[in-house]
Amino acid sequence: MLPFESFTLKNGLRVIVHKDQSTPMVAMNIIYMVGSRDENPERTGFAHLFEHLMFGGSVNIPKYDEPLQKAGGENNAFTNNDFTNYYLTIPKNNLETAFWLESDRMLSLAFSEKSLEVQRQVVIEEFKQNYLNQPYGDVYLLLKPLAYQKHPYRWNTIGKDISHIEQAVMSDVKSFYKKYYNPDNAILSVAGDVDTKEILRLAEKWFGPIPSGITIQRNYTEEPHQGDLREITVERKVPQSAIYMAWHMPERAVPGFYKTDLISDVLSNGNSSRMYQNLIKKSKMFSDISAFVTGDLDKGLFIVSGKLLNGATKEDAEKLIFREIEQICDQLIKEDELKKVNNKIEANLLFSRMSILSKAMNLAYYEMLGSVSLINEEVDNYQRVSRKAMKEQATELFVESKPSILYYKAVNDY
């Protein structure tokens, strides 16, 4: 059990507090419920570019970082398909500085042209550094538009194309801010040696005066069922060929998610897992193999990715992967296998509670999923899944619909 207390301000800001007296630091996390799925298809990469602009000064504070550093704090942020997450840690004696900084950039930004111009360049370099100038860096730029044809998950958080980032203008920045950066679209969590009364006082003082936004209508085009196998092959100068297979799977907050996640664990979590033992150790046709779920709020992907070894062909690779997939569909997994993956989940949950920052992040995340109390129901959600339910889920995932396959072919001179 992870203890917490929570309250909601009049303007709709949800606040969660967790007390941990073992450290002199406090962690603060803010989720804004906006991600790349909310973008205009002609202006992809915007939510992430916007995250950079959140550090370019707010209405009363010209620089975000300097006063935070003066207070001994450190911060960072990330953006994904569904939400944007800002976090910081600060010595507990300077906690009010964190409330001051975060509330000011929720109140209004400075909207500086210079900041927009520079951050466009910075994000373009980030695009190159992580996606283009990197072996296998463009895999998801290729795989996502193959697997999704309608839903906004078809583009990546970094953006579909560099030109989209180049074209971002200040009016886009302002309207995006106005629509999404409001207290009723945010979740604030605080973890550390703090008490809820004091957090309530600080939250009311700094965030209370910020007006709510207009209720956001969210309508994401549902991805149609995939009845046909789709595949593409690309040739790249890399040392090893690689294969990526993606199947559609249930959204994060339904029972099907837990069943699917357990299937991925049976296949590839840990060195005793089926794929590690059969594909890496026995067949020796893979140097790496992994099966994982994307965990998106809308229907996500179940992905198997592997790098090929010892002259294995695309056909060899597919055959080995499909054999494991078919086995999951045809036969009940063993009882001790289910027990093993559940032990792992239980332990992981505990290990994720060993620092205040990860606790603050998790609390806000579960509140976004629907309710912070879900954080203490996770283990049960997994343990409730039976072997039979997993087999049925596998059939739904792998038999009733078809995958998208990206074959990343090495053309090498090694």
Partner 1 sequence: MQLDRSNIPPHGTPVHLAFEEPQREVLDNGLEVFLIDAGIENALRLDIVINAGSVFQDKKLTATSVGKLLKEGTNGYDSSKIAELIDNYGSYLDISVTKDTATITLYVLSKHLKKLIPLIGKMLHEATFPEEELKIHIDRKRQEFLVNSEKVRYKAMLEFNKLVFGESSAYGQILDYKDFDLIDRNDLLRFYKDNYHPENAYVVVSGKISDEIVPMLNTYIGATWQPNRNVILQVPGPGNIGIKEKYIEKPDAMQSAIRIGRPIFSKQHPDYNKFLLLNTVLGGYFGSRLMSNLREDKGCTYGVHSFVTNYKHAGFFSVSTEVKADATEIAMREIMFELSRLQTEKIDDDELNRVKSYIYGTFLRTFDGPFALAERFKSAKDIGEGFAFYKKSLDEILQVTAAELFETANKYLNPEEMITLVVGKVNNS
DSSP state for residue 62 in the 8-state scheme: S
- According to CB under 8 A, which one of 104, 298, 324, 367 is a site residue for partner 1? 104
Q: How far apart are CA 80 and CA 71, in angstroms?
A: 29
Q: Is 387 in the site for partner 1 (CB under 8 A)?
A: no
- According to CB under 8 A, which one of 17, 31, 53, 107 is a site residue for partner 1? 107
Query: Minimum distance between the CB of residue 251 and partner 1, rounded to whole angstroms?
Result: 27
Q: Is 66 in the site for partner 1 (CB under 8 A)?
A: yes
Q: Is the CB of 128 or the CB of 178 nearer to partner 1?
A: 128
Q: Is 288 in the site for partner 1 (CB under 8 A)?
A: yes
Q: Is the CB of 92 or the CB of 384 nearer to partner 1?
A: 92
Q: Is 142 in the site for partner 1 (CB under 8 A)?
A: no
297-309: b or e for each residue (b if 16 or more CB lie within 10 Å)?
bbbbbbbbbbbbb
Query: Minimum distance between the CB of residue 228 and partner 1, rounded to whole angstroms?
Result: 32
3-state secondary structure of 102: helix
- According to CB under 8 A, which one of 8, 40, 175, 277 is a site residue for partner 1? 277
Q: Which helix (H) or strand (E) holds 8?
A: strand 5-8
Phi and psi at residue 354, to the nearest 5°: -90, 0
Q: Hey, what are 407's tokens? A: 């074959």
- According to CB under 8 A, which one of 169, 170, 178, 209 is a site residue for partner 1? 209
Q: How far apart are CA 339 and CA 14, in angstroms?
A: 36
Query: Minimum distance between the CB of residue 159 and partner 1, rounded to whole angstroms?
Result: 14
Q: Is 318 in the site for partner 1 (CB under 8 A)?
A: no
Phi and psi at residue 175, to the nearest 5°: -70, -35
Cα-Cα-Cα-Cα dihedral sign, residues 61, 64, 70, 73: positive
Q: Is 235 in the site for partner 1 (CB under 8 A)?
A: no
Q: Which of residues 9-38 bind partner 1 (CB under 8 A)?
A: 20, 22-25
- According to CB under 8 A, which one of 40, 41, 78, 122 is a site residue for partner 1? 122
Q: Is the CB of 75 or the CB of 404 nearer to partner 1?
A: 75
Between the two ends of the chain, the Cα-to-Cα distance in Å is 53
Q: Is 100 in the site for partner 1 (CB under 8 A)?
A: yes
Lookup result for tokens 């973008």: 39
Residue 232's beta-bridge partner residues? 406
- From the list 77-85, 99-107, 224-232, 368-376, the region that binds partner 1 by CB under 8 A is 99-107
Q: Which of residues 332-351 bind partner 1 (CB under 8 A)?
A: 336, 339-340, 343-348, 350-351
- According to CB under 8 A, which one of 33, 307, 366, 394 is a site residue for partner 1? 307
Q: Is 120 in the site for partner 1 (CB under 8 A)?
A: yes
Site string for partner 1, 164-203 (x = CB under 8 A): ----------------------------------------
Contact 80, 157 (CB under 8 A): yes
Size of the site for partner 1 (CB under 8 A): 86
How many CB atoms lie under 10 A from the CB of residue 79?
23
Q: Which residues, at least 6 apart from 109, have a Cβ–Cβ distance to it below 8 Å?
A: 53, 54, 56, 57, 58, 59, 173, 177
Q: Is 129 in the site for partner 1 (CB under 8 A)?
A: yes
Contact 283, 289 (CB under 8 A): no
CA nearest neighbour of 381 among 250, 248, 262, 273: 262
